[in-house]
Every structure is written in C-alpha cells, then in structure tokens.
A and B are shown apart, each in its own frame.
Chain A
Amino acid sequence: MLVSKNRGTSLLRSSEKSSLLRFLALYFILVTMILLLLGVFYYQSQEKLMFSNQKTILSEYANKQVKALKQLHNNFPNHVAIYPRSDKYRSAIYDIEGKKIFSLLKHDTEEDIRFESGIYRVGNTLHFVKILDDYYLGTKYLIIEVDEDMTWYKETMSSILAFGTLTLIVLIIFGLFFVGIFLRPMRNSIMLLDNFIKDTTHELNTPISAILANVEMMDTSVLSDRNKKRLSRINIAAKTVSHLYQDLTYLTLSHNRKSKDEWIDMKKLIEDRVEYFAILASAKKITFELDLKESAIFIDGVKIARVLDNLISNAIKYNKRNGKIYITLRKNYLQVQDTGIGIKSKKVQEIFERYTRFNTSEGGFGIGLNIVKSIIDEYNLKINVESVVDVGTTIRIDFTKGTLDG
C-alpha cells in the first residue's frame, strides 16, 4: 500500500485552533456590532440633520401657504374658490376636529396624517405640520408635503459602508495581532513543557540502553525462580521507560527529521512488536489474539513502529487483568481492539490531544496518541476510534489512500 504524505500538518494543536477561532469569532462579532451601532448612530444623526434642514425649508413653504390662505379667507368668492397651489410643494388643510377641508397631498389617508407640529416621513414623502392660531378657511392644521430627496440617504449609506469596511479591515488586522499576544502564554507553557521533556530525554537514553542490554545478556538459567521474576519485572520496567523514551525522542527530536519511506511488511512488524510487548502484557495476564493477513505500506519504518507501539502499549495499559488484545490486519486496514476500561463517548475526540490522559493511575505523559495522530495525518491515513465504557476500545487505521502494491 502506497500512502501519500500530508506535509501541511498544522503545528497548532486543536485546542489552540479552537481558542483562536473562538477569540476571532467573538472579536469579529463584537467589532461588527460596535460598527453597526456606530453606523446606526451616524445614520440617525444624518437623518436628524436632514429633517432639520427640511424643516426650515418646509416651514418657509408653510408660512407662504398661510399668507395665501389668509388672502383667500379675506376675499373668499361667492361660488368657486381656487385653493392656493405651488410647484415646490403640495398642501392640505384640516379643521380643529381633524376633518379634511381640502387636500392636494399624495398621502392623505387617516394613517398618513399626524395632527402634531413637526416633520415626519410618509412613504417617500415628508410631511410638515403647522398649527395655525387664526383658522383661515377653518384651517387648524396645515400640512405641507414634498417628495423626499434621497441624496442624503445615498451619501450616508456610502459613507457608512466605506468607513465601516475600512474600520473592520483595520480592526481585524489589530485582532490578528492581539490573537498572537492572547495565545503567547499558552504557546509558552507548551514550549516550556516540550523543552523540559527534550532536556530530560537526553539523560534517559544511556541508562535505559544499559539496563535493557544487560537484562538481555543475563544468563537466566543460573537464577532462582524468585530472581527470574525480579529480572522479568526489571525488564518490564525498563521496556516501559524505553517506550516512553521512544515517544519522547520522536516528539522532540525526530518529528522534524526527514522521513525515510520504504515498503514495510506490516504483518512482520506487528509480530515483532507483539513479541516485544509480550512481557508487559504477561504482567497483567493479557493475551494477544492475532488475525493477520499479508499487507505492506510505503511509510517511514520508525513512524509506523511508533504508531503500532503506542496502540499496543495503550491496549495493554488500559486493559483489565486477564484481558485480551485482538489485532487484525487486512490489506486495507489495521485494527487493535482491547477489553479495557473504555472511554466515554464525549471524550473520544479528545484522546489525540497532547498531554491528555484518561486514567491518572496509569503512567505516561499522554503523548502516545498525539504522536499516532500526527503520523496518521502526515500520511493521509484515516483513524477511527470506537469505545464503550467497561467493554473496551477499538482503534482502526484505514490505508484508504494510496495504491495497492499487490
């Protein structure tokens, strides 16, 4: 199986991404709301200004109309009287009881007319109401109507859009800058931990290698059964530390090294790793059930070994005593199933987070599955986790992308 590599694996952890996205979303919403609010205030102020300007003009029209009404009132003809008209405005007159005397308005339904002094908008027109002290022709309310000049609206909306967009862009740039500052403490703490692990790792290598080499070389035939057990415990402890060392080394040193991809016989690799972990599994009386078919993938040997080691190691670590580990290998997938404590469904998505541990009674830094995920992502493989509390966990890796080598 040939697998393609995903070099774009993000350096940000999902929690960092999540924090980043939440902060940006919150920031964007707040900034947009503030800008909208400012836009509304600006619009209202411009509208008030327009009303104020129009009020002055309409007030002059009203005074002119009152003069004409007065003249008509004082010289009212016997039969037909021509109501005073103007090209600049339309008008209507209402009596003290709100009854229409005469109207040239476009909008003069009951809903359109307000009997209070001032200016208001009706449809696309403006109404100005003047209350008369002398009721010429019975007029208490004189209403002047003009079509609304929408120039102010277009200019205001253009200003709001232009200024709003520009401000939004500037504030987003500021926001991105602030995000860097916002995430810096989190990054610093992670870097501090990484550096600590990196420094510690160097000091582990030599003593572990020495312990393991000497344990392997020991002549167990001369040892008593008690001492054989003790040696076995030393071996288990050393291998556990060795596994941790391998993870830490991978995480801190090998992660950025150039991959040496080659064809890996998965069946052989699994059998090797199962043999390596057999002594750890036997300590908890865990047995392996292997169902392996021939399969090979084109991948870095160190990396796929880290994947396998971590899956098997976790299956042992979180298994019950006398439990079982089923390993299934097919041409297109690998599956590791344990009979362990399981994980709550809500927590399943978090198991790939670095430093996440679901059982503090077990050892480890919580980096194993994070390494698995980073390798899986790098090679565009697909990983699926199914878990039932107190029943067990099944992790399946699909070699979905790539070319079958036969």
Chain B
Amino acid sequence: MVKKIILLGVVCSTVLGADEPKNIYEKNCIPCHRYAPASLEKLFMVYLKSYSGELSVKGAIKAFLKNPTESDSKMNNTFIENFSVKDKTTLTDEELEEAIDTYWELYNVRKKLK
C-alpha cells in the first residue's frame, strides 16, 4: 500500500512538473502568445527583419515591452483593433532581460543555419 502511494506521488509530481513554467520567459510570455495569431517564432523573425543585430533586436523588444505603443507594435492592424496594444510589463529590468535572452537563444537563426 505504501509502495502504491509513493508511486502515485512520483507520477503526479512528474506530470504536474512537466507543465510548470521553467523560466521567466515561459511563465510570462508563452501563456498569452499561445493564443495570439502570430507565434513567438514568427514575431522573432519580424523583429530580426526589422532590427538585424542581437543588441538591436533585444533593445527594441525591451523598449516595446516597457512602453508598448501602437506605432512600435509588430502585430497587424486587425489584431490591434481587436485586442489593442498589450499592457506595460510588470517585470523588472533584470527579469525582462532574462526573458528576452531566453527568447533570443530559442529562435537564434545563427545556430540553425548549416
């Protein structure tokens, strides 16, 4: 009986642990963008096409998240009309930078080009 209880506990913790956000990016970015029409990957390519370099892209994303405006938004007009521009981030600068670094590393094209 004790063995069964322990096994059940391990399985539950593994299953629940798999869905838990691991970092700031997953915790704060993915939940909302999961339902957005433009995926984070597509959005990354849009930023990359507009700002090119790592520092420029990260700088532009950080600036937008701290002070989102319609003119700086990369979402299309229909999306903005329906959902308006997102709210300002509640994350600290350090948290924001960490999340953007994770985002950059995840979709960085340099590592994928062969």
Contact = CB atoms under 8 A, between A and B. Distances in A.
Contacts of A77: 112
A138 B114 contact: no
B84 interface: no
Contact of A102 (B48, B50, B57, B110): B110
Contact of B54 (A82, A99, A136): A99
A101 interface: yes
Interface string B72-114: 0000000000000000000000000000000000000110111
A337 interface: no
A101 B114 CA distance: 11
B54 A97 contact: yes
A212 B56 CA distance: 116
B31 interface: no
Contacts of A74: 45
A391 interface: no
B51 interface: yes
Contacts of B1: none
A76 B46 CA distance: 12
Residue among A79, A80, A135 with most chain B CB within 10 A: A135
Given A135-B48, A138-B48, A95 B53 contact: yes
Nearest to B48: A138
Contacts of A80: 112, 114
Interface residues of B, number: 17
Residue among A78, A79, A101 with most chain B CB within 10 A: A101
Contacts of B50: 135
Nearest to A135: B52
Contact of A82 (B41, B45, B51, B114): B114
Interface string A89-105: 00000011101011000
A81 B55 contact: no
Contact of B113 (A96, A101, A134, A136): A101
A79 B45 CA distance: 14
Given A73-B45, A81-B114, A82-B114, A137 B55 contact: no
A140 B52 contact: yes
Contacts of A138: 48-49, 52-53, 57, 109
Nearest to A70: B49
Interface of A: 73-74, 76-83, 95-97, 99, 101-102, 134-140
Given A81-B112, A137-B48, A138-B57, 13 more contacts: A73-B48, A74-B45, A78-B41, A79-B112, A80-B114, A82-B114, A95-B52, A95-B53, A95-B54, A95-B56, A96-B51, A96-B52, A138-B48
Interface of B: 41, 45, 48-57, 109-110, 112-114
